[in-house]
Amino acid sequence: MATRKATMPPLKPIRNEAEYRAALAVLSRFFDSNPDAASQESSDYHEALAALVEQYEAAHYPINDRP
């Protein structure tokens, strides 16, 4: 059985485009699998990773509210 360490990178702030793309790939694999069947630990991990992605996107890909 694979360990979390082998399958999921450690949670840390996303600092560059390569880390951002890697995080998106991890989230994509999670959502392409059966997330409803995931353990609570896995769900919590991916929720935290999604928050880090959102934080990076807000800083590097801001959405302009003006038309």
Q: Where are the domains of the chain?
A: 4-60
Distances (CA, A) of 32 to 4, 5, 41, 48: 18, 20, 18, 18
11-37 pLDDT, tens digit each:
999 999 999 999 999 999 999 998 888
Average pLDDT over residues 56-60: 96
Do residues 13 and 58 touch, judged by C-beta distance below 8 A?
no
- Locate 40 and state its tokens: 């609570």
| DSSP-derived secondary structure for 18-34 | HHHHHHHHHHHHHHHS-
pTM of the entire structure? 0.80
Query: In the structure, what pLDDT confidence band is assigned to residue 60 with cuts at 50, 70 and 90?
Result: very high
